[in-house]
Homo-oligomer: A and B are copies of this chain.
Amino acid sequence: MRFSLKPQDDAFYSFFTQAAENIQRGVKILEELGDDDADHQSISERLVDVEHDNDKLTHQLFQKINSSFVTPMDRQDMVRLASCLDDVLDYIEAAANLIYLYGLSELPAIPREMLEIVAVLSQQADATAEAMPKLKGLDERMKDYWIECNRLENDGDRNYRMCVVRLYSGEYDPLTVMKLKEVADMLEKACDGFENIANVIETIYVKES
């Protein structure tokens, strides 16, 4: 660990680790969409709960930032990182909510290509949860995380495009295509959201090192 004149207040670092773990919990629930007897209403409702948990956590962080005289990282970078983590959960929750809200449960199945986007989200969530504890001390192994992030973002992008090609194949009626497209867009925003997290961490490294 490198020497630092700044206080290494563990509570700040622990916050980001917890938020990343909330995302992991959320993605695990989202993966149930692939189950044969998936209960779309329950998936949506449990994701709302996880999202609320994370909102509370974010609120606590903001209060701690405001009430702390010194902070281990730039205040605004921490606000930005917490917001990016929160955004990913918002998108995941929204995707599940749309599936329930639009009555997509009546489809024989969620398109396989859509579940493949969720599979990428699961890997991104794991990589992010693994990376967060490295933030303390600006651990150099963060580089592996960036490389992995970049690779997964490309995977997500490709899966998303394949998903949309499937939706536009003529297999579904136009209104169903619109509904499914919105869900796919939300999942893709979640994929991109993980990249935003990586970018903020990169900004912190550029500034602090």
A interface residues (Cβ-Cβ under 8 A, vs B)? 62, 65-66, 75-76, 79, 97, 101-102, 161, 164-165, 168, 170, 174-175, 177-179, 181-182, 202-203, 206-207, 209
Residues of chain B within 8 A of A62, CB atoms compared: 202, 206
Interface of A is mostly: helix
Contacts of A206 in B (CB 8 A): 62, 65-66, 75-76, 79
Is there contact, CB below 8 Å, between A101 and B203?
no
Question: Which one of B66, B97, B178, B209 contacts A178 once the chains associate, using CB atoms below 8 Å?
Answer: B178
Question: Closest chain B residue to A90 by CB distance?
Answer: B157
Indicate which residue in B79, B97, B102 contacts A203 across the interface (CB closer than 8 Å): B79
Q: How far is the CB of A103 from chain B (nearest CB, A)?
A: 9
The complex is assembled from copies of this chain, and their number is 3
A182 to B163 Cα, complex, angstroms = 14
Could you say which residues of chain B place their CB within 8 Å of the CB of A75? 206-207
Looking across the interface, which residue of chain B has its beta carbon closest to that of A76? B203
Chain B nearest CB from A142 CB (Å) reads 13
- Taking the closest CB of chain B, its distance from the CB of A18, in whole angstroms, is 21
Contact B165 A175 (CB under 8 A): no
Using Cβ atoms and an 8 Å threshold, which residues of chain B touch A202?
62
- How far does the Cβ of A156 sit from chain B's closest Cβ, in whole Å? 14
A174 to B168, CA, bound (A): 10
Contacts of A165 in B (CB 8 A): 101-102
Q: Give A208 Cβ to nearest chain B Cβ, in Å.
A: 11
A-B contact sample (14 more), CB < 8 A, given A75-B206, A164-B182, A177-B178: A62-B206, A65-B206, A66-B206, A75-B207, A76-B206, A79-B203, A79-B206, A101-B165, A102-B165, A168-B175, A170-B175, A174-B175, A175-B177, A178-B181
